[in-house]
Amino acid sequence: MMKKLIIYTDGACRGNPGPAGIGIVICNESGKIIKEDKEFIGNATNNIAEYRALIKALELANDFSVTRVECFSDSELMVRQLNGAYRVKDEKLGKLFLLVKEKERRFEEVTYSHLPREERHIKRADTLANLAMDEDKLSERVYDKEKERRKAKELKEDGWTYFVKGKELFSKYRDDLSSGHVEEIEMCFRKAIELKPNLWAPHYYLGELFYSIEQYPAAKVEFEIVLENTQDTEPAKYYLGEIRRFEAGNTLPKKLEEVRTMVNNPILLNHALIEWLENALRDLIQEVLSRKYGEEWWWEGVDINTRKECAERKQEAQLKEERKLSELLFIDFHTYAEIIEKKKKIFTPILGKTEIDELINRLKKLIPIRNAIMHCKGQYLSEETISRLKESCTELQKLIEKVRGRCLSDMRLPTTKEDSLSHGA
């Protein structure tokens, strides 16, 4: 009696969306192919086709007396969504996601893994999906009709074109924002909003633009519009929180030199240095990750466990003022180093490998110092220990200046990896 099936699936479409087919290869525990299947599913996107292939495969697996199913696909997006690494944003994919989870219940264990499309069983599933399209008499007519529809749609999407152009210009000039550059970037985003009023993302980037040049009232307006139009609010909420603190005067200076001159009492100065350090770390992390992932930096750049912990702390906050804050402000001190370490590939090209390794080591050594000061035991620390804190603040200030002074136009602002997977062929 078999205990396990190994399933390989693929969904393909001609045009995205366009006429689509699915292919399925089912193997026994020894890797021998015991069943193949293909089906033309009409007009669909490539991601819908991938989900439809997996759903059909799980239905076929139910015909066998097995308790475990191993599923393989070349769709990294689908695999990551099913494993909980990506959120399912698209409503149609969300329904298919739930259907997959329903099919899972028939088995004791179902796993999902990614394989490259060159793997032989995945290639066979792809061949079957294309055969399904080739054999359907309606396929060619549907494809031609879809091409005409997409062409007509492209003529109406000038607003999206302006949006993309605005992001490209912002990425190119964000470290050299002259008045001319600001005017050109703002014009692109304003035009995008005029032509496609339902887009909230241009408002987010306008907010970032105004925040970068310290036009806080204008930035505040744009970020508030973002909060009214989407649930993806954490980055916008963080910026709004910073702006409100600036307006109220309840914030430390951005420059370390100014913090050092605020108070004469060394105990109070130690507390001020810690607060400056944590604020500076948040700014550094957000600055680097947002250049890579845009408005998705919190979800793409910070791992899911950290996000969950921050969300739980925010929900459990006893002060109502805290519950209005961004989840970013609920990060543990030791987590800053973990975030940077996990995303070293992103930080290293900007700051250098030696600097990043040194920063991570410094932060780990600062954990007990930070805890002692914030728990009112700073007066018992030696001068040598306190000098480590001061030196670390100085080095962090240098890194922040390096980030802001360096042109990062080669880094990808407009899209995230998930976006490219969602819209790719």
Q: Where are the beta strands (DSSP E) in 3-79?
A: 4-13, 18-27, 33-44, 68-73
Amino acid symbol at 253: P
Number of Cβ atoms within 10 Å of the Cβ of 359:
22
Question: DSSP letter string over 148-204?
Answer: HHHHHHHHT-HHHHHHHHHHHHHHHHTTS--HHHHHHHHHHHHHHHHH-TT--HHHH
Average pLDDT over residues 20-29: 95
What residue has token string 């519950």?
Answer: 323
Which of 189, 405, 419, 420 minimizes the C-alpha distance to 287?
405
Classify the C-alpha dihedral 48-302-259-399 as positive or negative: negative
Length of the chain in terms of residues written = 425
β 33-44/18-27 pair status: antiparallel
Which of 331, 387, 341 minimizes the C-alpha distance to 363?
341
pLDDT in tens, 364-382: 999 999 999 988 888 888 9
Domain ranges of the chain: 4-152, 157-251, 266-414
Q: What is the DSSP letter of 380?
A: G
Q: What is the pLDDT of residue 153?
A: 55
Q: 279: burial class by Cβ within 10 Å (0-12, 13-18, 19+)?
A: middle
**In which band, very low, low, confident or very high, does the pLDDT at 58 lie, cut at 50, 70 and 90?**
very high
CA dihedral 221, 224, 230, 236 (to 10 degrees): 100
CATH class of this structure's domain 4-152: alpha beta
Q: What is the pLDDT of residue 416?
A: 40
Which of 293, 281, 382, 388 minimizes the C-alpha distance to 341?
281
pLDDT in tens, 340-358: 999 999 998 888 889 899 9
Give the Cα separation of 423 and 420 in Å (integer): 5
- The gap between the terminal CA atoms of the chain, to the nearest Å, is 40
What residue has token string 């695999």?
Answer: 79
Which of 90, 83, 104, 103 minimizes the C-alpha distance to 48?
90
Lowest mean pLDDT among 286-290, 299-303, 323-327, 411-415: 411-415
In the three-class reduction of DSSP (H, G, I as helix; E, B as strand; rest coil), residue 279 is classed as helix
pLDDT in tens, 144-180: 566 556 554 544 557 788 888 888 888 888 777 788 8
Give the Cα separation of 164 and 167 in Å (integer): 5
Phi, psi (5° rounding) for residue 7? -115, 135
- Between vectors from CA 138 to CA 137 and to CA 142, what angle results, nearest 5°? 150
Q: What is the pLDDT of residue 26?
A: 97
Average pLDDT over residues 298-323: 84
Q: What is the DSSP letter of 365?
A: H
Lowest mean pLDDT among 122-131, 189-198, 237-246, 348-357: 237-246
Q: Which helix (H) or strand (E) holds 275?
A: helix 266-293
β 68-73/4-13 pair status: parallel
What residue has token string 């969904």?
Answer: 11
Residue 407 has pLDDT above 50, yes or no: no
Q: What is the DSSP letter of 424?
A: -
Contact 218, 186 (CB under 8 A): no
User: Could you give the angle at which helices 234-248 and 216-229 cross, rounded to 10 degrees?
Assistant: 150
- Between vectors from CA 97 to CA 102 and to CA 416, what angle results, nearest 5°? 155
**In which band, very low, low, confident or very high, does the pLDDT at 139 lie, cut at 50, 70 and 90?**
low
Contact 270, 386 (CB under 8 A): yes
Which of 300, 270, 302 minimizes the C-alpha distance to 371?
270
What is this structure's pTM?
0.44
Domain 157-251 has CATH 3.40.640.10: no
